[in-house]
Amino acid sequence: MTARDLPTTETLTRRDLASRISAATGVSDKEANELLNAIGLEITKALVGKRVVAIRGFGVFTPALHAERMGRNPRTGDLVEIPKRWTTGFRPSTALRERMQAILPGGENE
């Protein structure tokens, strides 16, 4: 079963997230958006600096270097060199994994 097999509702956008932070904390929407920007910037700076970002109860963001490798152009079948590149991995915390597992059919939120 993949995420595509599960029913979804709608996407939580940045604006929605800022609005929810605002409602939960009592700060203005503008301040909540600034807070969200600051958090995103700090996470980005840490990852660009090749540092792991661990947020207890949520998960761990990890920078990962993918080595250079050979691949095939799917259209032509020609061999092509795929350059090395940085990506970001995410590993959810145990608490987040458990909450996500609970929404599976047969879980507590069925």
pLDDT tens, position by position, 10-69? 889 999 999 999 999 999 999 999 999 999 999 999 999 999 999 999 999 999 999 999
| Contact assessment for residue 94 and residue 83, using Cβ atoms and an 8 Å cutoff | no
- On the question of pLDDT at 110 being above 60, the answer is no
In this prediction, residues 76-89 reach a mean pLDDT of 96
Q: What confidence score (pLDDT) does residue 8 get?
A: 65
Helix axes of 29-48 and 14-25: crossing angle, nearest 10 degrees: 120
Mean pLDDT, residues 70-75 taken together: 96
- Element (H or E) spanning 92, and its range? strand 85-92
